[in-house]
């Protein structure tokens, strides 16, 4: 193998930063029909989506008993509800009487649910509370006291997952990441400060593929070369999970001048609360300096969970792939949750759902990192949960320069994947994450899982 980037060659084997042993996923070139065929989409609906745990929400969206939010997935909509005992339950958001949606808003807080159609009432734990004019129903019809239909729900590290058919192993066993990997970031203490959903013109897997590698960075996003390297450490975990560690606060290895500290790196230092004018080192020393500065800042601000992070984690993006349709860009200051949600009927469209989660620190010298790309004036305190910005189909979402470049790219790849002249993707060593999760998809659609 010729591609073996190790972010920290000295990382102890049990460190979360350590390079994992490679996995042989073969060299098979899959039929590109998986990117457009209705038959393949149908197999996914039947054999993949019901069996996997789906990232449905975040715990900080439901701080109090009775708080709820919905999660749209295909033809389904789920209702996540904070319970009296502090737990979270999930239900199909459908009334057992005549199938009206029980909750009509994306989020809210209730003492009970009342269906707007005929006024049936439900407790927050899903039990039926009352049937309007119950004496007009034959007792046998409602003897089972029809409540909301519950769906399996569990959480890890502030992330809420659901599983539709109930056959998946327990969540913690199913998530292929080691203990602490997610929990260390304390996502439960972060708040969603921006949530955008847009429709992209390609199969959901084209979207995932393009976010699971940094191979395209120099070509599609050349502007990133001053602040990050496109050679990432790639690690494959069980059950289709994988991650890449993208080194930030460095210049791309493709740039000849590795000494001059220019605008991009100065900007990264400023973001971390440093004064770039007083920095005396060269460009190769910026990453370490930023790590030290962040470490000291965390101590000053009492952010004790930083003790669990490696130095690399303080600067780098740990872009982590949650099988099958999620990537979370993990940083101590906040995380980007990207969900690639399949279109219910059209295999050549998906919804890109992007939640920016931020941990608010009340300190005049602690700023939201500018690289998070939040629009001017965004409330980052977490006091008000913003509504989802639904970008109308056909409108270009304003997601920042880099993501806007991806929107165009993904549409072109989606269209190209249908060409008679395309024989299937040729994944190289910088694209092992893609092969890994496709291989796992195959296990589901072929009935091996």
Binding site for Fe ion (CB under 5 A): 406
Q: How far is the CB of 6 from Fe ion (least distance, A)?
A: 23
Helix, strand, coil percent content, the chain, rounded in steps of 5 = 30, 20, 50
Measured from the CB of residue 180, what is the shortest distance to ligand FES in angstroms? 44
Q: Number of C-alpha atoms within 13 angstroms, CB side, residue 368?
A: 23
For ligand FES, the closer of residues 96 and 347 by Cβ is 96
Quote the least distance from Cβ 319 to Fe ion, whole Å: 11
Each residue 64-103 as x (binds ligand FES by CB under 6 A) or -, in order, gives -------------------------------x-xx-x---
Q: Which partner from the list Fe ion, ligand FES, none does 97 bind, CB cut-off 5 to 8 Å by kind?
A: ligand FES
Task: Give me 247's structure tokens.
Answer: 């080194």
Least separation in angstroms between CB 67 and ligand FES: 22
Site for ligand FES in 381-440 (CB under 6 A): none
Considering the complex, what minimum distance in angstroms separates the CB of residue 99 from ligand FES?
Answer: 6
Indicate which of ligand FES, Fe ion, none lies near residue 406 (CB less than 5 to 8 Å, by partner kind). Fe ion
Choices 69-77, 113-121, 188-196, 285-293; region in contact with ligand FES by CB under 6 A: 113-121
Q: How many residues bind ligand FES (CB under 6 A)?
A: 9
Q: Of 44, 56, 59, 322, nearest to 174 (Cα)?
A: 322
Sign of the dihedral through C-alpha 49, 51, 55, 56: positive
* From Fe ion, ligand FES, none, interface partner of 117 (C-beta below 5 to 8 A by class): ligand FES
For residue 406, give Cα distances in angstroms to 177, 220, 403.
27, 8, 5
**Two structure tokens written together for 254:** 């493709």
Contact between 120 and ligand FES by CB under 6 A: the answer reads yes
Locate 248 and state its tokens: 């930030």
Q: Which is nearer to Fe ion, 176 or 218 (CB)?
A: 218
- Least CB distance to ligand FES at residue 96 (A): 8
Q: How far apart are CA 62 and CA 86, in angstroms?
A: 10
Q: State yes or no: residue 115 binds ligand FES (CB under 6 A).
A: yes
Residue of 188, 158, 178, 169 whose CA lies nearest to 318: 178
How far apart CA 51 and CA 45 sit, in angstroms, is 10
Angle subtended at Cα 199 by Cα 198 and Cα 200, rounded to the nearest 5 degrees: 120
- CB 79 → ligand FES: shortest distance, Å? 13
Closer residue to ligand FES in complex, CB, 98/284: 98
Asked if 118 is part of the footprint of ligand FES (rule: CB under 6 A), the reply reads yes
Q: Which long-range contacts (CB under 8 A, 24 or more apart) does 62-66 make?
A: 62/88, 62/160, 64/109, 65/124, 66/109, 66/110, 66/111, 66/124
Q: Which is nearer to ligand FES, 133 or 257 (CB)?
A: 133
What whole-number distance in Å separates Cα of residue 92 and Cα of residue 78? 5
Q: Which residue is nearest to Fe ion (CB)?
A: 406
Q: Smallest gap, in angstroms, from Cβ of residue 11 to Fe ion?
A: 27
| CA–CA dist 87, 153 (Å, integer) | 10
Which one of Fe ion, ligand FES, none interacts with residue 435, CB within 5 to 8 A by kind? none
Residue ranges binding ligand FES (CB under 6 A): 95, 97-98, 100, 115, 117-120
């Amino acid at each position: 193998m010729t591609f073996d980037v190790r972010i920290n060659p000295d990382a102890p084997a049990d460190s979360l930063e350590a390079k994992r042993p490679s996995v042989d996923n073969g060299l098979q070139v899959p039929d590109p029909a998986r990117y457009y065929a209705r038959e393949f989409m149908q197999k996914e609906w039947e054999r993949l989506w019901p069996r996997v745990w789906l990232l449905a929400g975040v715990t900080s969206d439901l701080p109090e008993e009775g708080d709820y939010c919905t999660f749209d997935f295909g033809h389904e909509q789920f209702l996540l509800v904070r319970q009296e005992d502090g737990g979270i339950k999930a239900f199909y958001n459908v009334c057992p009487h005549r199938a009206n949606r029980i909750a009509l808003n994306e989020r809210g807080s209730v003492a009970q649910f009342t269906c707007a159609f005929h006024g049936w009432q439900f407790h927050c734990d899903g039990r039926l509370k009352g049937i309007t004019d119950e004496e007009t129903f034959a007792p046998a019809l409602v003897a089972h006291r029809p409540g909301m239909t519950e769906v399996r729900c569990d959480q890890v590290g502030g992330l809420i997952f659901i599983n539709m058919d109930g056959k998946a192993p327990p969540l913690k066993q199913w998530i292929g990441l080691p203990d602490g990997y997610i929990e260390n970031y304390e996502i439960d203490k972060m708040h969603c400060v921006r949530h955008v959903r847009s429709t992209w013109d390609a199969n959901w897997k084209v979207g995932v593929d393009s976010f699971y590698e940094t191979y395209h960075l120099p070509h599609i996003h050349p502007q990133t070369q001053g602040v990050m390297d496109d050679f990432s450490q790639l690690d494959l975990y069980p059950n289709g999970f994988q991650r890449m560690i993208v080194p930030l606060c460095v210049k791309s290895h493709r740039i000849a001048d590795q000494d001059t500290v220019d605008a991009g790196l100065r900007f990264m230092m400023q973001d971390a609360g440093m004064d770039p004018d007083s920095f005396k080192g060269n460009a190769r020393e910026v990453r370490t300096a930023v790590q030290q500065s962040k470490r000291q800042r965390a101590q000053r601000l009492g952010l004790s969970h930083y003790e669990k992070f490696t130095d690399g984690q303080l600067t780098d993006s740990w872009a982590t792939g949650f099988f099958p349709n999620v990537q979370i860009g993990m940083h101590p200051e906040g995380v980007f949750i990207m969900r690639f949600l399949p279109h219910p009927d059209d295999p050549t469209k998906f919804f890109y759902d992007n939640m920016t989660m931020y941990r608010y620190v009340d300190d005049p010298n602690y700023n939201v990192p500018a690289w998070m790309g939040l629009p001017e004036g965004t409330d980052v305190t977490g006091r008000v949960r913003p509504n989802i910005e639904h970008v109308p189909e056909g409108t270009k979402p304003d997601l920042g320069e880099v993501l806007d470049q991806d929107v165009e790219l993904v549409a072109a790849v989606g269209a190209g994947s249908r060409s008679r002249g395309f024989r299937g993707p040729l994944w190289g060593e910088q694209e092992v994450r893609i092969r890994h999760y496709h291989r796992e998809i195959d296990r589901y659609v072929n009935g091996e899982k």
